[in-house]
Chains A and B, each alone.
Chain A
Amino acid sequence: DAKTTQPPSMDCAEGRAANLPCNHSTISGNEYVYWYRQIHSQGPQYIIHGLKNNETNEMASLIITEDRKSSTLILPHATLRDTAVYYCIVMGNAGGTSYGKLTFGQGTILTVHP
């Protein structure tokens, strides 16, 4: 699976949008971009995933560049409860033999402050 790079930490004011970048320049054509987050001492929580089109759900939006070498996770209105470590992961989709074997990088520590 392709390696990803993320900034180690970011700050965001409560109520503002949090934009978390991720570089995945070696992503292959059949690999998806997944985002998870981990709140302290809990298991990772799925946020969103996408292949090449921008995606939006009730939690966040995912913007993937046209060349698919980078993406941005957007939390439109960050709250204090969004403080967590955010992981960007690249992986083949369901059906592949390696599906589910996630390689976690160091992620981005997002701190939302009042």
Chain B
Amino acid sequence: GAVVSQHPSWVICKSGTSVKIECRSLDFQATTMFWYRQFPKQSLMLMATSNEGSKATYEQGVEKDKFLINHASLTLSTLTVTSAHPEDSSFYICSARIVPGLAGIANTGELFFGEGSRLTVL
């Protein structure tokens, strides 16, 4: 089945540094990927929609200059947390929307999620 991979799975960084998280669709093309953030004991919250070849669309309240999203290819989207601070510590999860009608993979309607990346900012 289709797989979405995130890297790194966990990262610890110092306050003020930038951290890049990658989201890859391993065996399918994804024109659209989504980035979520999840704080402890809370549900997932959508941060932004990443569109291949165009600018990302951010949800209300999410700073686009702090959370840089790049979707340079049909299989890779990256989220860069710039000048990270302890309050940015969270579980970041991506999902991929399969290209409709893609041959070889049964498009049963599900979306594919990555394993998540846990960021801890000291």
Contacts and interface: CB of A to CB of B under 8 A. Distances in A.
Would you list the 6 A-B pairs with minimal beta carbon distance, nearest first?
Answer: A46-B110, A43-B113, A100-B97, A104-B44, A104-B43, A43-B116
Most buried by B among A34, A49, A94, A95: A94
B113 to A, nearest CB: 4
B118 interface: yes
B78 interface: no
Most buried by A among B6, B36, B43, B49: B43
B46 A46 contact: no
A36 B118 CA distance: 20
A94 B100 CA distance: 7
Given A100-B34, A101-B46, A103-B46, A41 B111 contact: no
Interface residues of B, number: 27
Contact of B93 (A32, A34, A44): A44
B115 interface: yes
Contacts of A46: 110-113
A53 to B, nearest CB: 14
Interface in B94-116: 95, 97-98, 100, 107-116
Nearest to B57: A101
A102 interface: yes
